[in-house]
Copies of this chain bind each other. A is one copy, B any other.
Amino acid sequence: MGKVERKRWSEEFSEWYNELIETAGIQDKRYPVKGMNIWLPYGLKIMRNIEGFIHAEMERTGHDEVLFPALIPETEFQKEAEHIAGFEGEVFWVTHAGHEPLDVRLIMRPTSETAMYSMFSLWIRSHADLPFKIYQIVNVYRYETKHTRPLIRVREISRFFEAHTAHDSFEDAERQIKEDLEIFDRLANLLALPYIISRRPEWDKFPGAYYSLGAEVMMPDGRTLQIGTMHNYKQNFARAYNIQYETENGEHEFVHQTTFGMSERLLAAVIAIHGDDRGMVLPPTIAPIQVVIVPIPKKNAEADVFAYARELAEELRTAGLRVHVDERDIRPGRKYYDWELKGVPLRIEVGPRDVEGKNAVLARRDTLEKVTVERDKLVDEVRTTLDKIHENLYDRAREFLEGHIKRVETIEEAKEVFEDRRGIVEIPWCGEEKCGLEMEEILDAKMLGTPYPEGKAKAPVGKKCPVCGREAKFIARFARTY
Contact = CB atoms under 8 A, between A and B. Distances in A.
Nearest to A95: B95
A73 B94 CA distance: 14
A324 to B, nearest CB: 14
A106 interface: yes
Interface string A17-32: 0000000000010111
A44 B69 contact: no
Given A32-B118, A41-B134, A119-B30, A143 B97 contact: yes
Nearest to A67: B39
B39 A156 contact: no
Contacts of A85: none
Nearest to A96: B93
B92 A38 contact: no
A91 to B, nearest CB: 7
A48 B36 CA distance: 26
B69 A33 contact: yes
Nearest to A37: B69
How many copies the complex holds: the figure is 2
A65 interface: yes
A435 B139 CA distance: 46
A28 B67 contact: no
A99 interface: yes
A69 B143 contact: no
Interface string A124-163: 0000000000100001000101000000000010100000
A90 interface: yes
Contacts of A321: none
A97 B93 contact: yes
Chain B CB within 10 A, most for which of A39, A64, A93, A108: A93
A333 interface: no
Contacts of A32: 73, 75-76, 118
B64 A41 contact: yes
- Among A66, A72, A75, A115, chain B packs the most CB atoms within 10 A around the CB of A66
A88 B99 CA distance: 8
A238 to B, nearest CB: 18
A145 B96 CA distance: 14
B94 A66 contact: no
A320 interface: no
Given A66-B41, A66-B44, A68-B38, A89 B95 contact: no
B31 A145 contact: no
Interface string A43-75: 011001000000000000000111111111101
A122 interface: yes
A66 B93 contact: no
A301 interface: no
Given A38-B68, A39-B66, A93-B95, A73 B33 contact: yes
A368 interface: no
A93 B94 contact: yes
A76 B30 CA distance: 13
A68 B118 contact: no
Contacts of A40: 66
A98 interface: yes
B96 A67 contact: no
Nearest to A39: B67
A94 B70 CA distance: 13
Q: What 9 A-B pairs have minimum CB-CB distances, sorted nearest first? A: A41-B64, A36-B69, A39-B67, A97-B143, A93-B96, A95-B95, A89-B98, A98-B143, A92-B97
Interface of A: 28, 30-33, 36-41, 44-45, 48, 64-73, 75-76, 88-99, 106, 108, 115, 118-119, 122, 134, 139, 143, 145, 156, 158
13 contacts: A33-B69, A33-B71, A33-B72, A38-B69, A38-B119, A39-B68, A40-B66, A44-B65, A88-B98, A92-B97, A93-B96, A97-B143, A139-B139
Given A31-B68, A33-B69, A98-B145, 17 more contacts: A30-B119, A31-B115, A38-B66, A41-B65, A48-B65, A67-B158, A69-B156, A69-B158, A70-B139, A71-B156, A88-B98, A89-B99, A92-B96, A93-B96, A94-B94, A94-B95, A139-B139
